[in-house]
Amino acid sequence: MAFIHHTTMTPTKLELLTDWLPKQSWYVGDAKTPELVKAGGFRLDDPEGTVGIEFMVVADATAQEPVAYLVPMGYRGAALEDVPGETLIGTSEHGVLGTRWIYDGVHDPVVMEQLRALLRGEATPQHQSKSDTPDPSVNVHGTGPDDGDDVQVNRVLRPTEATQGFSGHLVAGWTWPNGTAAWGVLATVAPRI
């Protein structure tokens, strides 16, 4: 199980995301500098113990109606090779582990493999800020991915009550800036066509 260090990161994850998020094609906000707040998320363990894996939900409070985004992140002790430059969210100095290269998890092979394992029921979601603590609020419904299936991460989260129509889906909650709880589908399994 991954150990969560309660220490500083400079710049913080929210500072890095504030700069990175508006540059993404799926960003729906109007503000060039969003006002991001941590709204939820969970972690997964890397079986090799080298990559930190976090699925962070952030809410942008600058819009008239707040928008929630899912940002999977891979924390690494060295730069990834053979990935496009825009997949790097940024680097940060961790108070215990030193320099961390933080990648958009949809382009990090370890992050995506562990997401696939979670959808197959082979990994356990972990609490976002507590070591060795499963997070029972993160649920997988339906059938996990086969070798030929795609896993699609929902970047802009929509609150939902109905989850029909998916062969497999990952459901979790987040909290809006006003304190209201919401639930939605974070990722789905789609057969390749």
Residues paired with 55 in a beta bridge: 42, 72
Q: Over the Cα atoms of the chain, what is R_g? A: 16
Would residue 144 count as lying in a domain? Answer: yes
Would residue 170 count as lying in a domain? Answer: yes
Would residue 19 count as lying in a domain? Answer: yes
Per the prediction, the chain carries an average pLDDT of 87
Name the DSSP class of 22.
Answer: G
Q: The pTM is what?
A: 0.90
For the chain, the first-to-last Cα distance in angstroms comes to 36
- Name the residue range of residue 116's domain: 9-191
Would residue 46 count as lying in a domain? Answer: yes
pLDDT digits 0-9 by tens, 137-184: 999 988 777 776 889 999 999 998 655 555 689 999 999 999 999 999
| Rounded alpha-carbon distances, angstroms, from residue 175 to 69, 97, 157 | 12, 29, 12
Would residue 130 count as lying in a domain? Answer: yes
Count of structural domains, the chain: 1
pLDDT digits 0-9 by tens, 65-94: 889 999 999 999 999 888 777 799 999 987
